[in-house]
Amino acid sequence: MKYAISTAAIITVLVIAVFAHTGCREQSNQALVRQARITGNENIELKEQIKTCRQEIEKQKGLLLQYQQDSGKARQTAGENSLRLLKMLAKDSEQTDELIAANKRLKAQLKKLQAQPAQKTQ
C-alpha cells in the first residue's frame, strides 16, 4: 500500500503539472495574440502616419514648384522693369542734355539781345 500511495501521489502531481503547463501555454498564447494585436495596431497607425507624411511631402513639393515658378516670373518682371527704367533714365538724360544745350543757347541769345540795345544807344 505504501507503494500505491506514492504512485497515486506521483500521478496526481503529474496531472497537476500537465494542467498547469497547459494553462501556462494558454496564457502564453493569449499574451502572444495580445502582443500581435498591439503590434498590428501600431503597424496600422505607422502606415497611416507614413501616408500622411507622404501626402505632406507631395504638398510641399507642389508649393516649392509654385514658389520656383513665381520666383522666376518675379525675376523676369524685375529684369524687365529695370530695363524699362534704364531706358527711361537714358531718355531723361538725353532730354536733360538737350535742355541744358537749349538753355545755353537761349542765355547766349539773351545776352546778345541785351547787348544790342546798348550798342544802338551808343
What is the per-residue DSSP string for 38-105?
A: HHHHHHHHHHHHHHHHHHHHHHHHHHHHHHHHHHHHHHHHHHHHHHHHHHHHHHHHHHHHHHHHHHHH
pLDDT score of 25: 60
Grid look-up 504512485 returns: 7
Indicate if the alpha-carbon torsion angle 11, 17, 23, 29 is positive or negative.
negative
pLDDT score of 114: 86
Indicate if the pLDDT at residue 7 is higher than 60: yes
Cα separation, 45 vs 39, in Å, equals: 10
Whole-prediction pTM: 0.46
pLDDT score of 9: 72
Planar angle of CA 118, 119, 120, nearest 5 degrees? 95
State which amino acid sits at residue 25: R
pLDDT tens-digit series, residues 31-72: 888 899 999 999 999 999 999 999 999 999 999 999 999 999
